[in-house]
Each structure stands twice: as C-alpha cells, then as structure tokens.
Chains A and B, each alone.
Chain A
C-alpha cells in the first residue's frame, strides 16, 4: 500500500475537524491564559485588563525557582522510574502468549479508570501506620513496630509512578511488538546472553521510542497536583499545587496564569532540547 500525498484542498478536509477542536479547546484558552497573565491583580478584588509584568516579576524569586526546580526534578524522576520499570516488563509481555497479554493489558487499562483521588487515598492507606503494609512486615517478624511511610518523597514518587505506569506500557507496547525478533535471535546465536542482547540490541533499536516515552511521562507527571498533596509534605508540593492555590483559593488569576505560562515555556524548552540532542546523537 502506498500513501499518496494530499493533492487537492478537499484532501485536507478530514483535518478540519481536529484542527477546529484544537483551536477551540486549546489555542483559544491558552491565548486567554497568556492575556490574563499580563493583567493587573486587584488585591481584595479581582483583576483588571492591563499589560503589566508584575505577575512574572513575583514569580522570579529564589523561592519559586526552587519549587519549579523540584517539580522538574520530580517529573524527571517519575519518567525515568516508569521507563526503567516498564521497558523490561513490556518486552517480556510481548514475548508471552496472546491470552496472557490480553489479561495484563486489561488489568493495566483498569488502573487508568481510577481517578487520581482514589489512587492517592489508596496509597496513603497502604503507607499508613494504622492500616498499612508495615503491619504485614511486623506480623512476619521482619519489623519491630508498624510505622508510617507517608508523607515522604518516596510515597509521592510511588504514587506518581503507579499512575503513569500504564501509559508507559501502552506507549511502549506497539513498538516492542513490532520489533523484529530475528534481531535478538541473531545476537543470541552470536553468543550474547539474553541480558546482553536486551541492552545491546533491543534498547538501542528502540532509542527514539524510549526518548518519546520519557518526554510523555515527564509532561504527564509535571501536571500532577493531587498526589503531592495527599502523599507528600509541603516541601514536596509541585508548582501545580501552588498554581491551584492561587487560582482557586486566592482568586489571583493573573499570578496563577503567569506561573502556568512559565511552566509551559520551561517544559517546551526542555522537550525541544531533548529532541535537538537526539537529532545530534543520530547524526554522529
């Protein structure tokens, strides 16, 4: 089958609907947000249309810098954990019988149906002192006394990895299924161990997929604002938590918008850097 490039204007017609949706539901709201981020905040009131840089000025401080840094670090950590866990898992999954694959995929998809609130509450119960998993360890004689594992950085990380893991598997799955099995077979005949074949053949062959997955999970994790609140201490709150505070609880829309715009710009910048670095690596 050969794909023809579009010849006439009519051939572009199927694109109109998604383009319109994207404009209405993404471009317009995002434009509004950028506009609001330059508005004048009225303390004790709302905001008035204006063109001021105060909102960005307030953001440029050591305090918000460190919160932004933490949010980015957290999202990177989640992305790496997810890919490190999901890549071998998905690879083994693709080597299993079709029926086993279906069971696993349905189970993973069902995790996606859980809301962030339910995931957060479930993990905070599992990590609690009174009803958590440490009680099992105590019963087994492995621990002296039950203790709380939340709030902590590890708890937030666990919750967020759990939430992003199904997406990671679903993104990696098609690429791994399509991976030519003769590649690893050739490596094995030439004397590589299964582990060595995985790292020297499978991983490099999937380089682009892995980078794309890392970026996707990174962006997904960056928007998380409930899990850090439910499972972390205030120092584990991400920038998204502070944006919510400003928008909903302080009715300071201009400042919330400025923070959100900043977050989007930093994210886009990082993604662009990754892509450029990837291209250079390919050229070399």
Chain B
C-alpha cells in the first residue's frame, strides 16, 4: 500500500516536471516581451485591465502583467526595499506626486530618455517630473480633480465656492480627507482666503492657514481615510457635503445617485499620477515603449472617456468634445498642491495637522 502511494507520488512529480518542461519555452517567449505595471488597485486597475492594456499588447506585442498597488506611500516603501535587494515588484508604477519626490530623493527612478518618447511633446509641462539636474524622473500618466461635492436632495442649489466649508449653516455636515498630504486643504485655504498657494511659502503663512482651517472643524462630521465610507454617506445624504474625487462622483451621478461634483470658483484641486521606472527593473526598453504609448492623445482621450481621468496632454491635441472635456476637467485654473512642502516639511506639517484635527 505504502509502496504504491510513493510510486504514484513519484509519477505525479515526474509528470509535473515534464509538463513544466514542455511549457517552459512558451513562458520564456512571453517573458521576452512583457512588462509589470503597477496601478492603484480596485476601480483604476479594473478599468486599465479592461480598456487600455489589451490594446497595448495588440499594438506592440508586449504582454502586460498588471500589479495592484496600494494607495498612500506603502507601495513606495515596498519598491524602495525591493530595489535595495535588486528586485522590482513592478517595472513601471503609477506614483502620486509626493511619492515621486520621495523616490527622487533616493534615486529610485531610472531617468527616462525623452528621445524614445516621441509622444512626450504633447504633454503639459507640469506633468513632466524632473530631477534637480534636469533628468526626467517620471511622466504624467493621468490627472484627476478633487472637488466640492454635494448631495442634490439636501442641497438643491450647487455651492459655488470653497467658502461653503466655513459656512456656519453647514455645521456637522462635511466629510473631508483625514491627512494633510491627501486632502490639500491648506492649499484650498490659501487660495480661498490668502490670495494663492504662495502664501504657504513661510511657516508663518502656513500657521495662519492652519488657524483659518481650524474654523472648519465644527462643520466636519467625518475625517475619512477610506473613500468608500464617505461615498456611501454622501449618496445617502447622511453627510451631504465634502471634498471628493470628481471622476468617481461623476460615475455615481451617472448611476442615478443624488450627488453632484462642482468646480468651485477658486478651482478644483488637481492631483496626478506619474509613470515611473524602478531602478531595479531590467525592462527599460519595454517601459519606454509603454510610456510613449500612454502619452498618445488618443489614449489620453480614451482614459478620459472610460476611466474619467483628466488628460495630461494638451487639450487641443485630443479629440475630446467640449462636453467630454467638461465631464473630466474644467477651464477654471486649478489649485495645484504644494508638493514641495510635503517633502521638506512633511513631519512638521503632519504634527500640526494631527494636533489640529485630533486636539
């Protein structure tokens, strides 16, 4: 009995080894031309897997293995630790601006060769991230807006300005992002009350913005880290006003939920993700082809239509209609976050912010 079972197991093992030998050439061939791409997990990754990556493989013959990356800086930490060990969990990753700057500080990103990225000429200047010495560290993948959102059942009239957050009539009605580095409320305060984000150049200016922002506290019902928590409350009218992503709010409204996203007259907050190549990656050639492909105006237009993101290329170069463009963006000058502050003063800002909302 024992002997038979051993025999059977050995046979099974041999069979497996044989099968994998046969499969090996196929795997090798596929690996010749493949690229691991990190995109934010969930809604983003699903949309890219469905609408973008299959066409890319068809056009270039490079297989894409998409990797779900966490938001926040957890992915940056993983890439950094892996790169120290010579590993790349993803070759190209979509990184937020703050993470880009932190990665630049440790030379995590392989400089990109713009001569291989012909479509880079369409990009808006602010979407090309450069090292201090001018080498290109990353290129804008998509951009998105954080806007003023309201429940249409509770607010019949759309608010027009960020000052609505400070209105005593909105006591205990707001949902705001819980972190200084993703809510960008200091910038909103500076733009709305202090004449622009340049007011944050000095520590005195920042402290003044904190002081003004403290007045919002009694109006805030929820400081959220988890997007689903606020989205649910906004749809039901439990928390009828707040800051949220323009693209997702638009999708929810299209599904028939009583929500709307408004670009305030001071501008929506524009944030963006960059494509960046880990220094541990061996796939520089494929990565350049991929980034070049993603910079095409037609691909950027597809992203706007299917994913709801705003293009990182000049609007004239795309074939987006006025209506399509208005759905993902606005002609009002956006509030651009002061990413530099989150690098040079991150601990100080974080401490002041935590004391502000917890204290």
Binding site for B on A (CB under 8 A): 41-46, 58, 63, 67, 121, 124, 128-131, 148, 151, 229-230, 233-235, 237, 242, 245, 248-253
Query: Which residues of chain B come closer than 8 Å to A43, judged between CB atoms?
Result: 343-344, 346-347
Q: What separation, in Å, do the CA atoms of A67 and B179 have in the docked complex?
A: 17
Query: Are A245 and B74 closer than 8 Å at their CB atoms?
Result: no
Query: Are A249 and B105 closer than 8 Å at their CB atoms?
Result: no
Which of B118-126, B135-143, B276-284, B349-357 participates in binding chain A?
Answer: B349-357
Which of B17-25, B208-216, B220-228, B313-321 participates in binding chain A?
Answer: B220-228
Interface 0/1 of B323-348, CB less than 8 Å to A: 00000000000000000000110110
Query: Which residues of chain B come closer than 8 Å to A253, judged between CB atoms?
Result: 77
* B231 close to chain A: CB less than 8 A: no
Query: Are B74 and A248 closer than 8 Å at their CB atoms?
Result: yes
Interface residues on B, range: 35 or more
Interface 0/1 of B4-18, CB less than 8 Å to A: 000000000000000
Query: Are A63 and B359 closer than 8 Å at their CB atoms?
Result: yes
Query: Are A248 and B73 closer than 8 Å at their CB atoms?
Result: yes
Q: What separation, in Å, do the CA atoms of A266 and B113 have in the docked complex?
A: 53
Q: Of A44, A46, A58, A245, which contacts B101 at CB under 8 A?
A: A44
Query: Which residues of B in the span 139-195 have a Cβ within 8 Å of any Cβ on A?
Result: 178-179, 181-182
Q: What separation, in Å, do the CA atoms of A148 and B236 have in the docked complex?
A: 13
Is the contact region of chain B dominated by helix, strand, or loop, or is it mixed? Answer: helix
Q: What separation, in Å, do the CA atoms of A247 and B223 have in the docked complex?
A: 19
Query: Which residues of chain B come closer than 8 Å to A131, judged between CB atoms?
Result: 236, 238
Q: What separation, in Å, do the CA atoms of A251 and B354 have in the docked complex?
A: 16
Query: Which residues of chain B come closer than 8 Å to A121, judged between CB atoms?
Result: 229
Min CB distance B354 to A, Å, is 7
Min CB distance A234 to B, Å, is 4
What are the nearest 10 A-B pairs in CB distance? Answer: A44-B343, A251-B73, A234-B358, A234-B357, A45-B105, A130-B236, A249-B72, A130-B238, A128-B238, A44-B105
Q: What separation, in Å, do the CA atoms of A252 and B355 have in the docked complex?
A: 17
* B115 close to chain A: CB less than 8 A: no
Q: What separation, in Å, do the CA atoms of A132 and B135 have in the docked complex?
A: 56
Query: Are A249 and B181 closer than 8 Å at their CB atoms?
Result: yes
> Who on chain A is nearest to B229 by CB?
A230
Query: Are B223 and A250 closer than 8 Å at their CB atoms?
Result: no
Query: Which residues of chain A come closer than 8 Å to B77, judged between CB atoms?
Result: 46, 251, 253
Q: What separation, in Å, do the CA atoms of A42 and B355 have in the docked complex?
A: 22
Known contacts A41-B347, A43-B347, A234-B357; A151/B222 CB under 8 A = yes
Known contacts A63-B355, A234-B357, A242-B354; A250/B238 CB under 8 A = no
Known contacts A128-B238, A130-B237; A252/B102 CB under 8 A = no
Q: What separation, in Å, do the CA atoms of A156 and B357 have in the docked complex?
A: 18
